[in-house]
Amino acid sequence: MASDLRNQISAVEERLRLAMLASDHKVLDELISAELVFTNHLGQLCGKQDDLALHRSGILKLHLLQASEPQVQADAQLAVVSVRMAVAGSYDGAAFSEDLRYTRVWRRSADGKWQIVAGHSCRVAA
């Protein structure tokens, strides 16, 4: 994979991480496809509007998103990212801390922008 492509994917991953930490729903709206299919670590299926609503409402507040063990497979149109993430924050006022692994599928749109079209997260066993 060309280093330019790897740099593009690393940049959108970092932009996503920062937007999640800040609950920046405007940036999240740009990065998440309207067609998103995401399965969270509880097995629940979520779409783009579900994700944006959590951030807009303040129900989900993230304080830590620390990435490790990134793996990227990509071509000019699609990228698959697997990353381990230490996640901490609060959900509806209750604090949580998780060790999760995310898999995200990014697709390049006709205007050249990368968006997440699918994803999955799971807990990492101790």
7-50 pLDDT per residue, tens = 999 999 999 999 999 999 999 999 999 999 999 999 999 999 99
Average pLDDT over residues 89-108: 96
Number of structural domains the chain divides into? 1
Contact 17, 87 (CB under 8 A): no
Percent of the chain with pLDDT over 90: 93
111-125 pLDDT per residue, tens = 999 999 999 999 999
**Which residues are registered as beta bridge partners of 118?**
37, 105
pLDDT of residue 36: 97
Q: Which amino acid, 124? A: V
pLDDT of residue 74: 92
Alpha-carbon gap, residue 124 to 84, rounded angstroms: 8
| pTM tops 0.75, yes or no | yes
Confidence of residue 65 (pLDDT cuts 50, 70, 90): very high
37: domain range? 3-123
Residue identified by tokens 């898999």 is 103
Q: Over 80: is that where the pLDDT of 1 sits?
A: no
- CATH number where 111 lies: 3.10.450.50
